[in-house]
Chain A
Amino acid sequence: MKQTKKVLVIALALAMAAAAFGGCSSGSGSEASKEASSASSAQTEASGSEELTDGDRIIAAAKEGKVGNWGLGNEYEILALLTKYEQEPKYLSQSFDMDGFDDGSITLASAMTYNELGLVKNSYEGGYGYGENIGIIDMNNEGVAMLEDNLFCTKEFAKANPNTVKAFVYASMQGWKYACEHPDEAAQIVYEAGSSVSSDHQAYMASEVKKLVETDTKGAAVTEYGKMDEEAMQQTLDLAKKYISLDDKTAADKLQTLTLDDIRDTSFLSSEKDFGTPEKTDVKIQLKWLPQCQFMGYYVAKAKGYYDEVGLNVDIISGGGDIGETTAVNNGTVDFGVTWVSNLISADAGGMDLVEVAQVFQRSGLVLVYKK
């Protein structure tokens, strides 16, 4: 009697647990193998039909609903690209790892050249090691590039503290210059400043970010760090007006009326040290993302004492949370921010009063990556 009871207990417990967990990962074994086989068949298909054009790939992935992007304000270039190829502007929400690309649930995955692309290609820690077995579709070549990382503050702050802004922009650009000249050293500085990304990946990132800072959307070299290229800015604004959809009617109307002069001010950018004593000396800058070489210029400027030289005491705050850099700058918890131009445009449309004071990345770093 006691024996049977015990057996029953164990059997029941097993059944219970199996029910609980089975639900969570139902048949991960069999389905996964099925998927693996379908993936391999897809691969042979692709190699059989020879060279697909980028357009073909985009259309095919869009039809299947397998174009990925992170959304949350990062998606406008993808929407523009899909519209260019007359596809429905819809995408899958991609998580921040590349597992979806790896397991085939996303065939055209968004990647930043300096971050995700490196993880896909390389085989250092956290990498997927695809090497040369992948291809990319570059937004710059497709003509849908929107400018990304910039440096901004509120108009109010810029008006009240012009010398601080000038000094900060000047020192930061010095930092960027040094970082681009010595990417390996910059990577080491960022790594030591508390980055948790492996130092190998940091070095890769530094070399890729250097390209974005020193080349424009057309592939020409840029020598002036932080330059606000009229044409690229205008293209960004035009695309933003087309693809940022806002539910708030007043904001949507305001978006359409924005001009370049509303969103950027070139008067703070200068390669000369032509400013007076900073009005505010303790300033904070919030980054758009986690501490990594995407922002190496600021870390280098701090580590090399460029900020001290112009009399600023700078605190670098990493981002990546739900309180966006635009919000943090707007409500005064930080003084400067790094964001994408498109995000600044939508924030200004929504009623914030932000202004770009330098454009760090001269071309789009967004690519769509696919398996060859």
Chain B
Amino acid sequence: MRKLKCILTSKPFVTLCWIILLIVIWEIFASVVAQTKRTPENVMPHLSGIIESVFSDKKINGSQTVLEMVLENAAATLSRAGIGYLIGIVLGFVLALLMSLSGVIEKIAFPYLMLIQLIPILGMAPIINAITGDIAVSRIVIAAILTFYPVATNTIAGFKAIEPAKHELMYSYAANKFQIYTKTMIPFCIPYFFTGLKISAPMAITASILVDTLQGGIGLGCLLSQSLKGAMTRYVFWDIVFFSALIGILSFYLMGVIENLLCRYKRAGGSGKKE
């Protein structure tokens, strides 16, 4: 009995229950839709139909099946997202470092940092495209811009949350600025930095899908908008929706795993963490 309870309350089981529940609800509505709509796949197809479309070996264009097509485009999008993400991380971290080093930079940069997330980036995209002159580069740049903000703000929060006692200790050791940063500040802010990374990983992916829709070419977003525009079976659209959600969640957990691998030490309490 106790063992059963143990299983019933275990985390994987709980998640599984929720997923099953969601599937049941989806299927109920899908059945309703299937009976009342002439084109149910445009509104809410049965999950079985979606899964079937993934494994179907029917070619939907000259040469590729749905799965091959989604994977090929996903590779392009994810690699752009990855590069943009890395650039965003580096920029975010460097800016946070600069801001903590210099009060003037902090004061100048902080309001503009807030401003970045208020700019409708889709509107800016053609302008960024015009500046970079290449659509692939501008897609990376936009992914970087969207990643950069959460990384920077969380890292700054980390620098700020450092206990003064530690600072004073370093001063009493007559440590120079470089030593202070490498020995205390940076290790201390790593968990905050990773919080930023976790938030921005799914963001980088959704952002690069978003900017894919700006122009043709290869990419999940291109495929998604083509499917929405009726250029291919609507199941491609549904496949991408589920695929991108899955990748987004996985990227979040991946960052968690990397964090655990990098810093074996446990951090004190979970308090300053922002999500």
Contact B36 A102 (CB under 8 A): no
B214 touching A97, Cβ below 8 Å: no
Q: Does A195 lie at the interface of the complex (its beta carbon under 8 Å from any beta carbon of B)?
A: yes
**Docked-complex contact B33 and A28, CB < 8 angstroms:** yes
The reply to whether A96 and B230 contact each other, CB–CB distance below 8 Å, is yes
**Once the chains bind, are B38 and A290 in contact (CB under 8 Å)?**
no
Residues of B within 8 A of A116 (CB): 230
A residues 301-354 with Cβ under 8 Å of B? Answer: 317-324, 327-328, 331-333
Q: Name the B residues within 8 Å of A317 (CB-CB).
A: 215-217
Flag the segment in A186-194, A272-280, A363-371 that touches B: A186-194
CB of A195 within 8 A of CB of B122, answer no
> A29-B32, A97-B42, A322-B213 known; A333 and B134 CB under 8 Å?
yes
Q: Would you call A318 and B230 a contact (CB within 8 A)?
A: no
Check B129–A323 contact: CB distance below 8 A: yes
CA distance A287 to B122 in the complex (A): 21
Q: Does A197 contact B (CB under 8 A)?
A: yes
- Bound-complex Cα distance A17 to B217 (A): 38
Q: Does any Cβ of A come within 8 Å of B79's Cβ? A: no
User: Cα distance A102–B43 when bound, in Å?
Assistant: 13
- With contacts A322-B214, A323-B215 taken as known, whether A196 is within 8 angstroms of B38 at the C-beta atoms is no
CB of B111 within 8 A of chain A?
Answer: no
Contacts of B133 in A (CB 8 A): 331-333
Measured between C-beta atoms, what is the minimum distance from B1 to chain A in Å?
10
**Which A residues are CB-close (under 8 A) to B74?**
none
Q: Which B residues lie within 8 Å of A286 (CB)?
A: 215-216
A175-203 residues at the B interface, CB under 8 angstroms: 191-198
Contact status of A320 and B216, CB under 8 A, knowing A96-B229, A126-B230, A197-B231:
yes
- Minimum CB distance partner of B39 in chain A: A99
As a 0/1 sequence over residues 12 to 30 of chain B, the CB contacts with chain A under 8 angstroms (1 = contact) are 0000001001100100010
A191, A192, A323: most-surrounded residue (chain B CB, <10 A): A323
Contact across chains for A331 and B129 when beta carbons are under 8 A apart: yes
Beta-carbon contact of A292 and B231 below 8 Å:
yes
The reply on B37 being an interface residue by CB < 8 A is yes
Q: Which of A14, A29, A321 contacts B216 (CB 8 A)?
A: A321
- Chain A residue with Cβ nearest B1: A2
Q: Is the Cβ of A32 less than 8 Å from the Cβ of B129?
A: no
Asked if B226 is at the interface (CB within 8 A of a chain A CB), the reply is yes
Residue on A with the closest CB to B229?
A96
Contacts of B21 in A (CB 8 A): 13-14, 17
A97 CA to B227 CA in the complex, in Å?
10
Asked if A28 and B36 sit within 8 Å, CB to CB, the answer is yes
| Beta-carbon contact of B62 and A323 below 8 Å | no
The answer on a CB contact under 8 Å between B226 and A196 is yes
Q: Which of B214-263 contact A (CB under 8 A)?
A: 214-217, 222, 225-234, 236
B125 located at the interface, meaning its Cβ lies under 8 Å from any Cβ of chain A in the complex: yes
Within 86-125 of A, Cβ neighbours of B (below 8 Å) are at 95-99, 102-103, 116, 119, 125
- Please tell me if the beta carbons of A99 and B214 are within 8 angstroms of each other in the complex: no
A192-B62, A196-B60, A292-B231 are known contacts. Are A287 and B39 too (CB-CB below 8 A)? no
**B135 within 8 Å of A by Cβ?**
yes
B230 and chain A: residue at smallest CB distance: A97
| Interface flag for A8 (CB, 8 Å) | no
The reply to whether the CB of B51 lies closer than 8 angstroms to some CB of chain A is: no
A177 to B82, CA, bound (A): 45
Asked whether any CB of chain B lies closer than 8 Å to the CB of A25, the reply is yes
How distant is the Cα of A322 from the Cα of B222 in the complex, in angstroms? 11
Q: How would residues 130 to 159 of chain B score, 1 for a CB under 8 Å from any chain A CB and 0 otherwise?
A: 100111000000000000000000000000
Whether B36 contacts A319 by the Cβ 8 Å rule is no
- Are A321 and B231 interface neighbours, CB within 8 A? no
By beta carbon, the residue of chain A nearest B236 is A196
Q: Does A36 contact B (CB under 8 A)?
A: yes
Once the chains bind, are A194 and B135 in contact (CB under 8 Å)? no
Chain A residues contacting B226 (CB-CB under 8 Å) are 196, 290, 320
Tell me how far the C-beta of A354 lies from the nearest C-beta in chain B, rounded to whole angstroms: 15
Interface residues of B (CB under 8 A from A): 18, 21-22, 25, 29, 32-33, 36-39, 42-44, 60-63, 69, 122, 125-126, 129-130, 133-135, 213-217, 222, 225-234, 236
Known: A98-B230, A323-B129. 12 other contacts (CB 8 A): A17-B21, A29-B36, A97-B39, A97-B229, A97-B234, A99-B43, A196-B60, A196-B231, A320-B225, A321-B225, A322-B215, A328-B215
A-B contact pairs, 14 of them (CB 8 A): A13-B18, A17-B25, A96-B228, A102-B38, A102-B39, A196-B61, A196-B226, A292-B231, A320-B226, A322-B125, A322-B126, A323-B125, A327-B129, A327-B130
Q: Which 3 A-B pairs have the closest CB atoms?
A: A318-B216, A196-B232, A96-B229
